[in-house]
A and B are shown apart, each in its own frame.
Chain A
Amino acid sequence: MVAPAPIVEMKNIGKRFGGIHAVENVSVELRPGEVVGVLGHNGAGKSCLMKILSGAMNRTDGTIMVNGEEVALANPIEARHCGIETIYQSLALADHLDAPANLFLGRELKTRFGTLDDKRMEMEARQALRQLNPNFKNITDTVLNMSGGQRQVIAIARAIYFNARVVIMDEPTAALGPSETAMVAELIEKLREQGIGIFLISHDLNDVFDLCDRVMVMKNGQNVGTHAIDEVTKDDLLNLIILGKLPDNWSPRNLVAS
């Protein structure tokens, strides 16, 4: 099988805060329909790396190619134009607005008079949200009154509605209960089927084994290893996360075969 060309290639990415290297010389790529897990300790630099890709943070070193073209990604708007959508660790929703207003925040639909087209936004939002979760009701409530799962659905719907090709998820299930976590896992599956590439930051190794095709482990801002999920065990990953290296006697093993 010939692997499709990567949608995103990050090369030698670095980010310094004064003397601190939050991210150092990290390279990683993402292909369509692929879920790449980004693992590492607290403060390893996972969020920083992903913020660089989403345009929320400017890198100090390195190049990023999207569909083979070099891009600057100086701000979130530019990243969105490249088809990169992000679902943030702390859910980035405006609490006092309703679901449609959040879904279209910064990209509001307008009437031909230049005023907000709330009717159309509500219709489109209803459709987008129902697609992901048929039980989504009262979409015109302020999101303040919604459950963590509903809020996550809004964030994901936002990514899908605007035809994302790359979705970054920073601990999407950290604030959710078990059933909502299962729902998000389903959504990730749906995104993958549509050929969207996903970076998934997670601390839950079970999720990682369930959802990811490949994993990248970060430690102290560096990439200490990128592996196909079926060539490593949980213990291997823990070794990478904690010690920054694989066990001495390690060799790629195909767990599916064994």
Chain B
Amino acid sequence: MSGERISTCSDAEVKGRFARLWSHMNGDERKDVVQKFAAVFSLMALIVVFSVTSDAFFSVGNAMTVSLQTTSIALLGIGVTVVILTGGIDLSVGSVLALSGTVAGLLVKDGWPIWAAMSMGVLTGMVCGCINGFVVTRLRLAPFIATLGMMLIARGLALQLTGAAPVSQLGEAFGVLGNGSLFRTLSVGANGLPKVIFPGIPYPVLIMIVMAIIVAFILRRLAIGRHIYAVGSNEQASRLAGVNVNSTKMFAYATSGFMAGICGIVLMSRLVTAQPNEGIMYELDAIAAAVIGGTSLMGGVGTISGTMIGAFVISILRNGLNMNGVSSFIQQIIIGCVIIGAVYIDHLRNRR
């Protein structure tokens, strides 16, 4: 049934090649392809609709805005996906991001070099993740509780350290990571003012792509990645098969903390201010991105590419609705419906 839809929309040459590929796939791979197509298709549909309804939507400038907005959801989403794959959940990433960013900001204020301060920020995120992992694997608390605790602790710490005030005047160099671009080309126009020939690839987008590739590689090609899926599908079986379940989970939470740390320094760098109040509720966007991208909250099922698509869906939806003057209240309603709809479709497909 799903095969027909795809084959009718391709031309003969592509069709032949696709049919051959298709015939070599088994049921699950086909399901996966169909899902990816469906997700990419809805993404395209969104873009088309918004381009028609708003003049400003389809432009290079707005594409930049959207990809930058996507980066924070995606960076957090990638980490959270790894945790969800093991059958856990990480509610702390929004707060950990704030703590990481403020630690980096405060250290810069303290005279640390930017790179060292930012590394400490990322390390802070990773330590928070390790603590989550410790509480889940050693103290044996439910991941929901463990990371809920960390969510409050990290936020409280960020507010306490900064006295709840933004840390500003961090210097221009602090903003490079968040605002700079690779291959940005300027030419001096006739009037003597610089003219942008190519806006470049913003560093945050670059970081997002690199991190997505690295984590996808770990999940697909390394034993630890295989173990993450195994633990999420049957923890007991994995343990009996000789998989070190605790260190696998530890790795997942540490990765999530690490990604939150990266997200924290990128965001604060973009603002050139360390905001202890940044990232509130971001964990929910990250989880939503994973879920829209086909990650099962039961564990064992999900991909990084899916989460990336999910992150794009959320940020394009937000951006497009903004451009069309839809109020933020209505936006919440729509995104809520999208999450429920996406998971319901996923549910139907898996039930068959």
Contacts and interface: CB of A to CB of B under 8 A. Distances in A.
Do A and B come from the same complex?
A: yes
A93 interface: yes
Interface residues of A, number: 31
Given A110-B223, A145-B27, A95 B300 contact: yes
A116 B242 contact: no
B237 A93 contact: yes
A184 B246 CA distance: 34
Contact of A108 (B29, B223, B233, B238): B223
B233 A141 contact: no
A94 B300 CA distance: 9
Interface stretch (A26-34, A66-74, A99-107): A99-107
A105 B238 contact: yes
Interface string A54-88: 10100000000000000000011100100000101
A187 interface: no
B242 A107 contact: yes
Contact of B233 (A56, A80, A97): A97
B171 to A, nearest CB: 41
Given A88-B240, A105-B241, 9 more contacts: A90-B236, A92-B241, A94-B234, A96-B229, A96-B300, A101-B229, A114-B222, A141-B28, A145-B27
Contacts of B220: 116
> Which residue of B220, B221, B222 has the most chain A CB atoms within 10 A of its CB atom?
B221
B27 A141 contact: yes
Central interface residue in B220, B223, B229, B236, by most chain A CB within 10 Å: B223
A115 B230 CA distance: 17
A86 B237 CA distance: 11
Nearest to B350: A144
B226 interface: yes
Given A141-B28, A142-B28, A97 B242 contact: no
Contacts of B239: 56, 76
A95 B26 CA distance: 16
Contacts of B241: 76, 92, 94, 105-106
A127 interface: no
A74 B235 CA distance: 19
B240 A115 contact: no
A179 B236 CA distance: 28
Given A76-B241, A101-B226, A110-B223, A92 B301 contact: no
Contacts of B306: none
Interface of B: 26-29, 220-223, 225-227, 229-230, 232-234, 236-243, 300-301
- A-side binding surface: helix, strand, loop or mixed? loop
B230 A101 contact: yes
A93 B234 contact: yes
Nearest to B217: A115
Contact of A94 (B29, B230, B242): B230
A80 B223 CA distance: 19
A116 B221 contact: yes
A76 B26 contact: no
Interface centre among A90, A105, A110 (most CB of B within 10 A): A105
Contacts of B238: 94, 105-106
B226 A108 contact: yes
B180 to A, nearest CB: 33
Contacts of B300: 94-96
A95 B296 CA distance: 13
A34 to B, nearest CB: 24
Contacts of B28: 98, 140-142, 145
Contact of B243 (A54, A88, A95, A106): A106
Contacts of A194: none
A140 B29 CA distance: 9
Contacts of B221: 115-116
A96 B301 contact: yes
A126 B41 CA distance: 36
Nearest to B218: A115
B26 A116 contact: no
28 contacts: A54-B240, A56-B239, A75-B242, A76-B242, A91-B237, A92-B236, A93-B234, A93-B237, A94-B229, A94-B237, A95-B234, A96-B229, A96-B232, A96-B233, A97-B226, A97-B229, A98-B28, A101-B226, A101-B229, A105-B227, A105-B237, A106-B242, A106-B243, A108-B226, A116-B221, A116-B222, A141-B26, A141-B27
